[in-house]
Amino acid sequence: MPAEGSAGARHGATDDFGYRSVINRTSTADLHATILHLLGLEHETLTFPHNSRQERLTDVYKARVIDELVA
């Protein structure tokens, strides 16, 4: 829990040991997709050349925008 008087937000929950997320699990690709969305960029079409092939920041994973964090 945040200290009294401190600002912040929580998203999801972890197990009793704080080792793994158990509610509202997200991935790094989801976080990248959310940041790109907030910048006004489409994460599925934004590509860059790397080692002679086009790659995405969200890689090949099925990333989603985390709407709960945006609203």
Mean pLDDT of the chain: 82
pLDDT digits (tens, 9 = 90+) for 29-54: 888 899 999 999 888 888 888 888 88
Nearest 5 degrees, angle CA 42-CA 58-CA 47?
60
Our CA angle for 2, 30, 35, nearest 5°, is: 80
Question: What residue segments make up the domains of the chain, in order of their start?
Answer: 26-70
SS (H, E, C) the chain: CCCCCCCCCCCCEECCCCCCEEECCCCHHHHHHHHHHHCCCCCCCCEEEECCEEEECCCCCCCCCCHHHHC
Q: Is the pLDDT of residue 1 over 80?
A: no
